[in-house]
């Protein structure tokens, strides 16, 4: 508990310091939620190590996010890899969605992903010209030998190995634009360097994008941990940290794979402001 308290206090202090400038008047930040795929799970058993979902079918969404700030654009999570022959009804590639706003990959200043699983980093390679913001532990995890061995998945983001990179170290949040409006927050457990994104908007208030902290709606209240998470103890600490940040910041919590949370966001190309 002392470790959790220290992490929570450290994150709160860093967020408060970084948010000082924003408190004087939030910049005009816009948050876009983009459809980057879907999953139909006939049996969601692997998403809870207490057996709660054994034999239970679930539907998951795979969103990507674009954050537009006066100082530049950030793509957060890039969705599933694009197959050579997309099946009927598949979501359009992220680059095609960005075209609707007149944007190309070369226009995106920053790229970050909540973590390096294939459904979050699957189209990241096309943004290798952007500055990649990643926790040092997640970068190491993404380029470990086991990841490289999966040629199809690794090939979707391998170009990031040569990208300009900002590495987050330790547990302190990273202030993307220097004004406290967009913060990448370490929340390990699902993977070694998993992160959250706190976005502060003028009209809609604060929004906390939670990556794979919770895949299924009921998992948040029940504190269920997927069987395949990297570290169960760290996961539970990150659950508590996210709840404390959400309460302190009065943030809307978006469980990224939960269909109702995605449906509640403005339909692209409309933005939350």
In a domain, 169, yes or no: yes
Convert the pLDDT of each residue in 131-163 to its tens digit. 999 999 999 999 999 999 999 999 999 999 999
In a domain, 197, yes or no: yes
Lookup: tokens for 273: 């402001």
In a domain, 272, yes or no: no
What are the start-end ranges of the E strands in 86-194? Answer: 110-112, 131-135, 165-168, 174-175, 182-186
Convert the pLDDT of each residue in 112-138 to its tens digit. 999 999 999 999 999 999 999 999 999
Q: Any idea which residue has 């006066």 for tokens?
A: 70
Domain with 135 in it = 2-263
Q: Which residue, among 197, 210, 225, 216, has the nearest Cα to 39 in the 3D structure?
A: 216
> Whole-angstrom Cα distance, residue 207 to residue 182?
10
Indicate the number of domains in the chain.
1
CATH number at residue 36: 3.60.15.10
In this prediction, residue 47 has a pLDDT band, given cuts at 50, 70 and 90, of very high
Lookup: tokens for 147: 């990841």
- Between helix 2-18 and helix 232-249 the angle, nearest 10°, is 40
In a domain, 273, yes or no: no
Is pLDDT of 19 > 70?
Answer: no
Positive or negative, the CA dihedral 42, 48, 49, 51 is negative
Tell how far CA 119 is from the center of its chain.
Answer: 11
Instruction: Report pLDDT for 104.
Output: 98
Share above pLDDT 90 across residues of the chain, in percent, rounded to a whole number: 88
- Adjacent-strand bridge partners of 112: 76, 133
In a domain, 239, yes or no: yes
* Helix ranges, the chain (H): 2-18, 20-23, 94-99, 118-121, 136-142, 145-149, 151-155, 217-222, 232-249, 259-263
Mean pLDDT of the 220-237 span: 98
In a domain, 268, yes or no: no
Instruction: Report pLDDT for 89.
Output: 85
In a domain, 271, yes or no: no
Instruction: Report pLDDT for 16.
Output: 55
In a domain, 53, yes or no: yes
3 state DSSP class of 102: coil
């Amino acid at each position: 508990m002392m470790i959790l308290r220290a992490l929570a206090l450290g994150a709160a202090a860093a967020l408060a310091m970084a948010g000082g400038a924003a408190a004087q008047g939030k910049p005009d930040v816009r948050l876009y939620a983009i459809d980057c795929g879907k999953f139909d799970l006939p049996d969601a058993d692997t998403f809870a190590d207490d057996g709660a979902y054994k034999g239970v079918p679930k539907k998951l969404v795979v969103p990507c996010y674009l954050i537009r700030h006066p100082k530049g654009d950030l793509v957060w999570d890039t969705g599933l890899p694009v197959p050579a022959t997309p099946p009927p009804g598949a979501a359009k590639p992220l680059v095609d969605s960005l075209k609707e706003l007149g944007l190309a990959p070369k226009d995106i200043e920053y790229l970050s992903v909540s973590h390096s699983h294939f459904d979050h980093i699957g189209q990241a390679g096309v943004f290798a010209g952007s500055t990649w913001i990643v926790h040092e532990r997640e970068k190491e995890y993404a380029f470990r030998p086991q990841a490289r061995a999966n040629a199809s998945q690794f090939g979707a983001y391998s170009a990031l190995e040569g990208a300009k990179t900002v590495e987050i170290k330790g547990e302190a949040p990273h202030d993307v634009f220097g004004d406290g409006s967009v913060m990448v927050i370490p929340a390990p457990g699902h993977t070694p360097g998993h992160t959250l994104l706190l976005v502060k908007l003028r009209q809609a208030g604060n929004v906390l994008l939670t990556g794979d902290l919770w895949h299924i709606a009921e998992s948040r209240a029940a504190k269920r941990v997927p069987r395949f998470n990297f570290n169960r103890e760290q996961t539970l600490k990150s659950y508590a940290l996210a709840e404390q940040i959400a309460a302190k910041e009065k943030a809307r919590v978006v469980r990224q794979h939960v269909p109702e949370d995605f449906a509640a966001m403005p339909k692209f190309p409309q933005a939350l402001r």
